Amino acid sequence: MPYPQRYLAKRRGPRLLSWMSYLLVIAGGAALGWWAANLTDTYLAQWRAREQLASMPSMTMSTPSASSPRSSLLSAPRSSVMVKPGTPLAELSIPRLGVSAVVMEGSDDRTLRVGLGHIESTSLPGESGNVAIAGHRDSFFRPLRNVQVGDDILLDTPNARVHYRVSSYSVVNPSEVSVIDPTQDARLTLVTCFPFYFVGSAPDRFIVRATYVADVQQSHPPPVVPLVSKAPSPRAPRPRAAQSASLANRGGDRRGASRNLR
């Protein structure tokens, strides 16, 4: 090989490495910018949601007598009530795990990206029955990997603080639809994906069940949420046989909650 060609071949190697390093720096900067933008968007969305919750007027209802069960502090589920997607409903906190995030109506991708999402077909925060809340395993619900039975969960609605305590947690297949079925007792169900450190779309669901705690010192009025609009008529309960074999295929809200979790 003539001298000039050998010289050019030697020069090509360092130039290629130099260009590759530039590209990696650009890609890293773009990824960092994207992460910072998402973090800022999430922070602002949570801040605005907390401001909205703080400004919501309290709605007074008759307080049950001392002889009535403490669970009557929770309002009965109102299946005919529809809440506008994205409406802040409550702030959920798990003191031992350091979790604190606003729960918004809906389980679409946008809602789950900036907060926790109330699964639409379940009882609203502040109501009796099964209140189901979804969240991403790589953001707000990441600390759930360390949850323990007995952990306190607080759900602050515009009118009251509703106290729950973790009774169980489990890993289920997405086809297990009973975790968000209606219940007679006051219950809270948290849903996220599992495994927590799985790369890609996680195959299973991590479920935390919590039961209502009747605090003796509780003096708040019955918790309610603002009504945005009403459906034309209450939905009739679906027969058990009509339930889908998959959480992803059981109604539009269930499809959204399952599909948008990752």
Which residues, 6+ apart, have CB-to-CB distance to 227 below 8 Å? 81, 83
Residue 217 vs residue 128, higher pLDDT? 128
pLDDT at residue 214, rounded to an integer:
83
pLDDT at residue 69, rounded to an integer:
42
pTM greater than 0.75 (yes/no): no
Tell me the C-alpha distance between 210 and 168, whole Å: 7
pLDDT mean over 15-39: 69
> Hey, which residues does 219 pair with through a beta bridge?
none
Q: What is the average pLDDT score of the chain?
A: 77
C-alpha torsion sign, points 135, 140, 144, 150: negative
Q: Which of 145-159, 222-236, 243-257 has the highest mean pLDDT?
A: 145-159
pLDDT at residue 91, rounded to an integer:
97
pLDDT at residue 220, rounded to an integer:
45
pLDDT over 70 for what percent of the chain?
A: 65
pLDDT at residue 241, rounded to an integer:
36
Q: Which of 68-82, 182-196, 223-237, 239-253 has the highest mean pLDDT?
A: 182-196
Confidence of residue 200 (pLDDT cuts 50, 70, 90): confident
Segment holding 101, helix H or strand E: strand 99-105
pLDDT at residue 245, rounded to an integer:
35
Indicate the length of the chain as a whole number.
262
pLDDT at residue 185, rounded to an integer:
92
Q: Which of 75-79, 152-156, 249-253 has the highest mean pLDDT?
A: 152-156
pLDDT mean over 20-25: 74
3-state secondary structure of 188: strand
Query: Nearest-5° angle of CA 151, CA 155, CA 160?
Result: 130
DSSP notation for 38-66: HHHHHHHHHHHHHHHHHHSPP---PPPPT
pLDDT at residue 24, rounded to an integer:
74
Confidence of residue 79 (pLDDT cuts 50, 70, 90): low
pLDDT at residue 223, rounded to an integer:
45
Tell me the C-alpha distance between 18 and 227, whole Å: 60
Tell me the C-alpha distance between 245 and 178, whole Å: 10
* Residue 190 dihedral angles phi and psi, to the nearest 5°: -105, 135
Asked if residue 240 has pLDDT above 50, the reply is: no
Segment holding 210, helix H or strand E: strand 204-212
**Stretch among 76-85, 101-110, 197-206, 230-239 having the lowest mean pLDDT:** 230-239
